[in-house]
Each structure stands twice: as structure tokens, then as C-alpha cells.
Amino acid sequence: MTGNMTNAQSQEGLLVHGLTVSYGKREILHGISLDNMRPGRVTALLGPNGSGKSTFLRAVAGLTASKGEVVLKGRNLATLPVGERARIGAYLPQSLPPEVHLQVLEAVMVARRAGEGVSAECALSEAMEVLEGLGIADLALRYLDELSGGQRQLVGLAQALVRKPELLLLDEPLSALDLRYQFAVMEAVRRETQARGIVTLLVVHDLNIALQRADDVVYMREGRLIGQGVVMDVTTPDILADVYGVRTRLEVCPRGLPHVLVDGVVEDSSEEEQRY
């Protein structure tokens, strides 16, 4: 019995109930509820511009006023002190870490010590461990203002991970990155999520990268949930037509990875009727 309960507890992740966000009289998110998002899995938030993905992420992080419940491993995050909520959940905005003249190792150490009484020795050890895990230990003594966009994105990820979050929220971590670093960042996120047992949600615009590197997906359109589940269970031509308004085919490459081919735009039924 004890073993079963322990296993059940280990699978308890993030639950969202009726999340609603309004700006004035305009409702942006319309009561979104999501099933359990388990630790060790990456969930990609997908949908066209204006579908509410970034707003949803900020609401989960507690950075935007909202109604509803966000529950992580049985704890309602709204009831936690601000500092505790920030420690449990690490949020990375779309913008890259600033190009300041600060060494990478120092920047990660500062992130580790923020709000916690951690010794310099401990912060140094843990910062190097995270940099090594991300494969960027060679950047430790480089300055942030000397790095490329992709390298700074990985440093930003290191600053989040060194805080040992239980929840990782990434808003378009691949924006402005070249193809190599898009895959490097996604691989790092997936690897660290699994190794650390984190619940990770990220907004991604490249549909194929998301489908190939995420475990689960959440499809949104106009502030509403369209679908949630394991990548290939929920991703269908009908869902993609509903969300993006395009006709697609789903193929699987020899490595077993899904790939979406777009054949065209879904015609609006009212426009078709007007032709005849």
C-alpha cells in the first residue's frame, strides 16, 4: 500500500482549474482547465498568435491577475507566499538575459543565492553542476555581453534550473535563435526536465520542433482549450485545422518522429457558399 501511494504521489504534477484572465471588460482566457501534467514531462503550449499562450503562462506563474486554481503537487499556488511561489516555479520571459558585463558563472551564482542563505561555495558548486549539465561549462568565465543569442538563452535556462524549481515555465525560449540552438535548447530542456523531475510548460511557435521534442501538447485558440494530451494522441489533421486553419498531413520519419506537412488553408465555409 505504501509503495502504491508513493508512486501515485510521484505522478502528481500540475493541475489547472477554470483559469480565467480579463483585461478590463475583455476576457482573454475563458476558464481553461487542464488535466494533470506530470513531473519529468515537457508540455508545449501551441496555437496561433493571440490565442492566449503567454497570458496563460504568466497566470500560472502568478504574474497576471487571474481567477481559478493552479495546483502543483497538491498545493494551491495562490495560497503560497510570493517568495515561496517564485522559488517553486521558475518563469523565463521571451526576452534573453541582458547583455551585461558579468561572467556567466557569476550570473548563475547570483540566481542560486537570490532569496536564500546559500554559501558562496555551495552556489559555486551548484552553478558549475548546472552549466556542465547543459553542456556550457566552457562559457563559465565568459561575459554575458560576449555571447550569442543561443548561448545567452542557455545561460538563462541555467539561471532558472540552479534555483531547483519544481515548475519551469518558458515563454518562447526559441525565439530569435538559429536552428542549431533551437534544438540545443529543446534538448537541454527535455533532458533536465526528466533528470530533475520538473513539470515544464513552454510556448513554442515551430510546430514540428514542438511535436518532436515535447512529450505532451496543449492546443489553444482565442483563449480557449482545444485539446490536451500526448503528442501523437491529440495531434490530428482535424485539431490542426481547428486551431490553425490549415489542411495538413501527419507523417512519421524513419526515426519515429512526427512531422506536419501543410497542404493549404482551410476555406471559410461562408466564403465557399458565396461562390455558388
pLDDT at 275: 39
- DSSP conformation class of 256: S
Region 132-153 average pLDDT: 91
Say which range, 122-131, 168-177, 191-200, has the weakest mean pLDDT: 168-177
Report how far residue 140's alpha carbon sits from residue 129's, in angstroms, rounded to the nearest whole number.
Answer: 11
Q: In angstroms, how far is CA 272 from the centroid of its own chain?
A: 38
What ranges in 170-268 are assigned the alpha helix state H?
Answer: 179-196, 207-213, 231-234, 237-244
What is the chain's mean pLDDT, rounded?
88
> Is it the case that residue 229 has pLDDT exceeding 90?
yes
In this predicted structure, the answer to whether residue 159 has a pLDDT above a threshold of 60 is yes
Helix (H) or strand (E) holding 54: helix 53-61
Q: What is the DSSP string of 23-47?
A: ETTEEEEEEEEEEEE-TTEEEEEE-
pLDDT in tens, 248-275: 999 988 888 888 999 999 886 444 434 3
Q: Determine which helix (DSSP H) or strand (DSSP E) holds 58, and give its type and residue range.
A: helix 53-61
Query: pLDDT per residue over 60-98, tens digit each?
Result: 999 999 999 999 999 999 999 988 888 899 999 887 666
Predicted pLDDT of residue 96: 66
Q: Which fold has domain 2-275?
A: Rossmann fold (3.40.50)
pTM: 0.87
What confidence score (pLDDT) does residue 12 get?
A: 86
Query: How many other CB atoms are there within 10 angstroms of residue 236's CB atom?
Result: 13
Q: What is the pLDDT of residue 215?
A: 96
pLDDT per position as a tens digit, 16-37: 999 999 999 999 999 999 999 9
Residue 2, pLDDT score: 36
Contact (CB, 8 A) for 16 and 199: no
Q: Nearest 5°: phi and psi at 249?
A: -125, 140
Q: Which of 123, 128, 149, 157 is nearest to 140 (CA)?
A: 128
